[in-house]
Each structure stands twice: as structure tokens, then as C-alpha cells.
């Protein structure tokens, strides 16, 4: 008996199957968790911190699930990055409203979005399948960041932990960022240790973002030059 043909590529059923990949479902869950987290951020800081950090941890889980169940997809990768960028952006906007100067956090927000957007765009221009493919880069820190998962995880977790701690420490929405950091770093406690280690990782990530921005911009410019020479 002849086998029944499967769904044709591009059909509704095949598209639906990608949308329902396990890692993508985890991605939708992350979006919902973040929406609710920011809904309660000013009324329940503890619940906000738990939900936000749990959503952040799910970022690693969906990557594992994609490899485990052979469900890696371009849509999933984009969903993952967009969720990361928007959730971090929202937290930075909140921090810019509760600390002075707020421009510090808005600058970090602009750097984060610009560097990742340019990196994604330059990746497609060069015909690569992943924005993490930086083997041809000449910068050792850039290659270490994307080439070593543990190092990348340390930097990313450090940023999120530092932002969460700063939000938790904010009280009357008039604090100066440097005063809060200086006061808490002078204390001998687990919190001061977390702030110190997170500051180091966060600083490395911001430096990597600057390198990423410049590297991706150079790639776009070289693409334009090469395109004109071929005309």
C-alpha cells in the first residue's frame, strides 16, 4: 500500500509545525512571563525579579531543546533574540526612570540594540547562518565571547543580575547610580560580592557590544565597497 504523502513545504500544516516546535513554545512562554513581570514590577519587586530571571533562564533551556529535539529554526533564533533584546530594553527603561542619570541606562539600551541589529544584518550579508559565527574575526575578545559558552553565559547573566539588583535596591526613584553602587560595594556581604562580580561581567559585555558594533559596521561598509567594484 502506497504511503500517504506528507505536507508540502510551505503548506499551512508545515508552517504550523515550526510554530509549535518545543523551543518556540518555550519562547512564547518567555514573552508571557516578561509581560506579567513588568506588569507587577512596581507593586511586587520580588515576584518581578523571580519571573524575569526565570524567563532569562528559559533562554538557555530553549536552546538546549532546539538541539535535543532537532528543532533548530530561523524563526526560533529570531524569536529568541527579539525576546532577549526587548526584555532587557524594558528593564533598562525602568532603571532609567528610577536612577540618575537615566541617560546611562538609555545609552546601554541603544548600544545593545544597535550592536545586535547590525551584527544580524551583517551576518546575512556575508551569507552566514548564525550571528554567533565570528571565527573570521581578528578580535580575541569578540571570538572568546561567542566561542566560549561559559564565558558568554557569565557576561550575560552578570548584566541581568546587576540590573535586577539595581532595580531591587531602588527605593524612592531619586537615587544616584554611583551613590547606590558605592554604598553597597563598601559593605562586606553576599550582595556586595554579587554586585562586584556582576559589574565585571557587565563591563566585558558592554565592551564586546562596542566591538560587535564596529565589526558589523565594517562588514557592511566592505560589502558596499565590494558591490561597487563588481559593477
Given the residues 59, 84, 218, 224, select the one marked as catalytic.
84
Ranges of residues in the chain whose predicted pLDDT is under 50? 1-4, 6
Residue 41 to residue 44: CA distance in whole angstroms: 6
The total number of residues written for the chain in this structure: 231
| pLDDT at 13 (0 to 100) | 62
Backbone angles phi, psi at 11, to 5 degrees: -75, 165
| pLDDT at 90 (0 to 100) | 96
Mind listing the pLDDT tens digit for each residue in 83-122?
A: 999 999 999 999 999 999 999 999 999 999 999 999 989 9
Q: What is the pTM of this model?
A: 0.86
Is residue 218 part of the annotated active site? The answer reads no
| pLDDT at 4 (0 to 100) | 47
Residue 108 to residue 103: CA distance in whole angstroms: 9
| pLDDT at 91 (0 to 100) | 96
- Residues 46, 99: contact at Cβ < 8 Å? no
Amino acid at each position: 500500500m502506497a504511503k500517504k504523502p506528507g505536507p508540502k513545504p510551505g503548506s499551512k500544516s508545515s508552517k504550523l509545525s515550526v510554530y509549535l516546535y518545543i523551543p518556540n513554545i518555550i519562547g512564547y512562554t518567555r514573552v508571557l512571563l516578561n509581560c506579567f513581570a513588568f506588569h507587577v514590577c512596581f507593586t511586587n519587586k520580588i515576584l518581578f525579579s523571580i519571573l524575569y530571571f526565570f524567563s532569562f533562564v528559559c533562554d538557555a533551556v530553549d536552546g538546549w531543546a532546539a538541539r535535543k529535539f532537532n528543532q533548530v529554526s530561523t524563526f526560533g533564533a529570531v524569536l529568541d533574540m527579539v525576546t532577549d533584546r526587548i526584555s532587557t530594553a524594558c528593564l533598562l527603561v525602568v532603571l532609567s526612570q528610577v536612577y540618575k542619570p537615566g541617560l546611562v541606562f538609555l545609552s546601554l539600551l541603544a548600544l545593545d540594540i544597535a550592536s545586535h541589529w547590525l551584527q544580524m544584518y551583517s551576518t546575512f550579508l556575508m551569507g552566514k547562518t548564525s550571528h554567533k559565527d565570528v571565527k573570521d574575526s581578528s578580535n580575541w575578545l569578540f571570538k572568546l565571547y561567542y566561542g566560549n559558552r561559559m564565558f558568554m553565559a557569565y557576561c550575560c547573566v552578570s548584566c541581568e543580575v546587576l540590573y535586577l539588583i539595581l532595580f531591587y535596591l531602588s527605593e524612592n526613584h531619586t537615587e544616584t547610580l554611583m551613590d547606590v553602587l558605592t554604598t553597597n560595594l563598601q559593605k562586606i556581604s553576599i550582595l556586595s560580592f554579587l554586585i562586584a562580580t556582576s559589574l565585571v561581567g557587565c563591563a566585558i559585555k558592554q565592551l564586546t557590544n562596542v566591538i560587535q558594533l564596529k565589526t558589523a559596521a565594517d562588514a557592511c561598509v566592505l560589502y558596499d565597497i565590494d558591490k561597487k567594484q563588481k559593477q
